[in-house]
Amino acid sequence: MKDYREIPQDALYIIDTLEQHGFEAYVVGGCVRDMIMGRTPNDWDITTSAKPEDVKSVFKRTYDTGIQHGTVTVIVDTEHYEVTTYRIEGEYKDSRRPESVSFVEDITLDLSRRDFTMNAIAYHPVRGFIDPYNGQKHIKEECIKSVRDAKERFTEDALRILRAVRFAAQLGFKISDNTIEGIKACKHLLANISKERIRDEFIKICMSDSPEAINMLYELGLLEYILPEFIKAYETPQNHPHHIYNVAQHTLAAMKHTPKDEVLRLAVLLHDIGKPLTRTTDAKGIDHFYNHPEKGADIAKRVLKDLRLDNQTIKEVTLLVSLHDYHLRKKINKFYIKQILKVTGEELFDKLLIINEVDAKAQNPDKYLEKEKMIQIIREMKEEIVANEECYNLKMLKVNGGDLIKMGITPGKAVGEKLEELLTYVMKHPEANDKATLEKHIQESAQAI
């Protein structure tokens, strides 16, 4: 447990000011949990017996955040703190939000509506902890346990089901047996939750230290509501000398090695999503997955749109999935690397190299060294291309469409075709990327015709 003096002075000021005006106030929820665990909280939430109008009258700088639910944001200097009135909630009819909220004066009633015991703890710098559901004990036991009845909590807001798995992934905790039973009984209610809310929790699982928690989503039957296409990956073996896992376990092993970059983690998650639909087995019993990157890119685009990812993320992830085995398709040389760079650009190419690395690490370890050497050769080629400013896209070409028109090439389609022809020539002959040389090349080509 961190010393209470670790609580920001601004938060202490808010608590003290409210209490000087005759109200109670505590820090509450995730920040208290993190303090107990010795973690640095991201946010400091404050709960109080003061009604929203009281909070607004006490502090000069406020704005309504969720006034209907009792939340007012208080601004101290440049920091913003959410201050929420003790409340209980009415009936939930849509598995998402209560029909009504009632303000109360007893903090234990407020804590009774929270999701998990580890989040149902309040702390006061003088009075200490309010912990009616043994949250401190469960934190010590590294256990995620629902407040009161699990089925009731998940029926109120089914997203709590995914929050349980997300907390397990982020904190390394287990989920209690009765909470697991509640998840199984209520999982169908996830159909009522918006894709955006589901996406946000799923991304946090993917970005955690334990992305293999996706196994828990599979085992509990939750993937059906998030990424049903990945279920088949668990049923797809890879009988091949280069593999030791089925498609799903290979994917999660690769994710474990992947840096915490959203595009990278999603690209690795989906890089082999096309394998279940492309698996064939030859006469020797060896599996093959021809064209699985292209098939996988189509699936990735569809599922990412379904999860409401932004267009740029969808574009980058889909491209990485489609190209992730480029190094296995052709003989590696600088011209081929430039062809890939032309499509990806330098930044995305570097991510492609990372995918190559983590993909190889999650395959047969006996084959890793040879793959590592090949990836290093590719990296050195790419770095040499960049260091020498060798041309691999039209922007780098030393002539443009206007230059070609001046040389007599008819405006329109012919200009574009000639630029592409010149780009290919320069990619093979980098020393030729000079305006005079290219103009001479165009003239010689015209004479040859």
Backbone angle region of 221, left / alpha / beta, with phi > 0 → left and psi within -120 to 50 → alpha: left
Quick one: pLDDT band at residue 101, thresholds 50, 70, 90? confident
Sign of CA dihedral 312, 317, 319, 320: positive
Q: What is the mean pLDDT of the chain?
A: 93
CATH class entry, domain 142-226: mainly alpha
Give the tens place of pLDDT for each residue, 46-67.
999 999 999 999 999 999 988 8
The SS3 of residue 28 is strand
Give the tens place of pLDDT for each residue, 205-253.
999 999 999 999 999 999 999 999 999 999 999 999 999 999 999 999 9
| Residue 1 confidence (pLDDT) | 45
Give the tens place of pLDDT for each residue, 29-52.
999 999 999 998 989 999 999 999
Beta bridge partners, 80, equal: 75
| Residue 2 confidence (pLDDT) | 47
- Token pair recorded at residue 370: 């040879």
Give the mean model confidence (pLDDT) for residues 172-180: 97
* Percentage above 70 pLDDT, the chain: 96
| Residue 448 confidence (pLDDT) | 56
Give the mean model confidence (pLDDT) for residues 363-390: 95
Q: Is the pLDDT of residue 279 over 70?
A: yes
Give the tens place of pLDDT for each residue, 317-376.
999 999 999 887 778 999 999 999 999 999 999 999 999 999 999 999 999 999 999 999
List the domain boundaries for the chain.
4-141, 142-226, 257-388, 394-448
Q: CATH number of the domain at 4-141, out of 3.30.390.30, 3.30.870.10, 3.30.460.10, 3.40.50.300?
A: 3.30.460.10
**Burial of 260: CB neighbours in 10 Å, binned 0-12, 13-18, 19+:** exposed
CA-closest candidate to residue 391, choices 330, 355, 328, 339: 339
Task: Give me the count of residues in the chain.
Answer: 449
Quick one: pLDDT band at residue 20, thresholds 50, 70, 90? very high
pTM of the model: 0.90
**Residues 334-343: b if buried by 16+ CB within 10 A, e if exposed:** bebbbbbbbe
Give the mean model confidence (pLDDT) for residues 422-434: 95
The SS3 of residue 27 is strand
**Residues 143-165: b if buried by 16+ CB within 10 A, e if exposed:** bbbbbeebbebbbbbbbbbbbbb
